[in-house]
């Protein structure tokens, strides 16, 4: 699993749509669906119920969303802190 898959999952959960998620990330609905399927396979559980042109989170999907969102937010915060630190270091040495 990677952060791109987690980001796709989070956006799909929030929008209820693989199509909307694809638009957000400039990829096809099929690509999003495949990545979500990969996450489900890794977790060995369904995260969404697929009905017509909508998706609905399962109980496992609800739980995973909360955890995935926190993981991605913590990663983004840490990444931003490293970038800020690096910029400050470059200014001091430059």
Task: Please return the burial class of 32, using the count of CB atoms within 10 Å of its CB with bins 0-12, 13-18 and 19+.
Answer: buried
Cα distance between the two ends of the chain? 38
Percentage of the chain with pLDDT > 70? Answer: 93
Task: Determine the 3-state secondary structure of 54 from DSSP.
Answer: strand
pTM, two decimals, is: 0.87
All domains in the chain, ordered by first residue: 3-93 (1.10.10.10)
44-75 pLDDT, tens digit each: 999 999 998 899 999 999 999 999 999 999 99
């Amino acid at each position: 699993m990677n952060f791109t898959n987690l980001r796709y999952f989070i956006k799909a959960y929030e929008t209820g749509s693989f199509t909307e998620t694809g638009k957000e990330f400039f990829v096809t609905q099929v690509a999003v669906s495949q990545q979500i399927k990969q996450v489900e396979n890794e977790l060995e559980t369904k995260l969404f119920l697929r009905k017509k042109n909508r998706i609905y989170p399962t109980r496992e999907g609800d739980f995973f969303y909360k955890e995935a969102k926190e993981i991605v937010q913590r990663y983004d915060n840490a990444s931003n802190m490293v970038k800020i630190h690096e910029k400050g270091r470059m200014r001091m040495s430059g």
